[in-house]
Amino acid sequence: MTDSKDTPVIEIRDLHKAYGQLEVLKGVDLVAPRGHVVSLIGSSGSGKSTLLRCCNLLEDSQQGSIRFEGEDVLWKGTGLARHPADRMQVTRIRTNLSMVFQQFNLWAHLTILQNVMEAPVTVLKRDPKEVEEKARHYLAKVGIGDKADNWPAQLSGGQQQRAAIARALCMEPRALLFDEPTSALDPELEQEVVRVIKALADEGRTMLLVTHDMKLAADCSDHVIFLHQGKIEEQGAPAELFGNPKTERLRGFLSATAA
């Protein structure tokens, strides 16, 4: 692994992905330098989640490259993690590129604290005492330190999503991948999560953010990519993109195809 500070945390080149005959990604490039937030916006079915899942090795792809801190993390057409060495690499990549899903995916039978501690203790074999300290720190950071001993069902949707963010942070990843983190939430709960994401962006965390929320993308991104039918339609800094006529056209097709 290269450790130059100039090496992008995530670098995707000419990525192609198909499910059978359905071509979902048709040559996508994306670069996320350290400390940058890159948002992916696009109509439903444009391939945003698929791109994120390829980064996290939940999907393989047919062509192109994905590099994490200069290291090639793509298996082309061979299936993922068949070899034990590959499995170790998959764990390492998933630890470093921690994913926050739309549907929080908390374990119902574990308390919030246990949910946050689960992967660092059981998968990464870290010391439970140290992990607990970190877990409490991250729960406090996302504003739900007082919910550590509650069950997920006792929390609101916004609180559950914040717990899911704390769980991702507790892996101490090099980058966070957010897949529509606010779309399962009511507007007022959404704002709780938006505040946490903005605070993480202000801290200089590297993040890829898939969102339908133009305002969220505009407020916290260094770079915004509009994906349409598996290709990049437009991209740039929010200040260049938002409010100009090109983006208004994109906003049009977004609202026409919103899920």
Ligand X SMILES: Nc1ncnc2c1ncn2[C@@H]1O[C@H](COP(=O)(O)OP(=O)(O)OP(=O)(O)O)[C@@H](O)[C@H]1O
Residues in contact with ligand X by the rule CB under 6 A: 19, 22, 24, 42, 44-50, 259
Provide, rounded to whole angstroms, the least separation between the CB of residue 50 and ligand X. 3
| Residue found under tokens 């919030």 | 112
The residues, ordered by sequence, that sit 6+ positions from 151 with a Cβ below 8 Å of its Cβ are: 108, 111, 112
Round to whole Å and give the CA distance between 16 and 83: 24
Provide, rounded to whole angstroms, the least separation between the CB of residue 48 and ligand X. 4
First-to-last C-alpha distance (Å) of the chain: 39
The full DSSP string for 166-195 is HHHHHT--SEEEEESTTTTS-HHHHHHHHH
Residue with smaller CB distance to ligand X, 47 or 181: 47
Round to whole Å and give the CA distance between 107 and 115: 6
| Residue found under tokens 């509650």 | 150
Provide, rounded to whole angstroms, the least separation between the CB of residue 79 and ligand X. 14
| DSSP β-bridge partners for residue 67 | 11, 72
3-state SS assignment for residue 64: strand
Provide, rounded to whole angstroms, the least separation between the CB of residue 55 and ligand X. 12
Provide, rounded to whole angstroms, the least separation between the CB of residue 70 and ligand X. 26
Provide, rounded to whole angstroms, the least separation between the CB of residue 45 and ligand X. 4
Round to whole Å and give the CA distance between 9 and 76: 20
Residue with smaller CB distance to ligand X, 24 or 55: 24
Which parts of the chain fold into alpha helices (H)?
48-55, 84-96, 112-118, 128-141, 157-170, 187-202, 214-220, 238-241, 245-257
Provide, rounded to whole angstroms, the least separation between the CB of residue 61 and ligand X. 12
3-state SS assignment for residue 36: coil
Residue with smaller CB distance to ligand X, 27 or 143: 27
Residue with smaller CB distance to ligand X, 48 or 205: 48
Round to whole Å and give the CA distance between 196 and 205: 12
Residue with smaller CB distance to ligand X, 139 or 208: 208
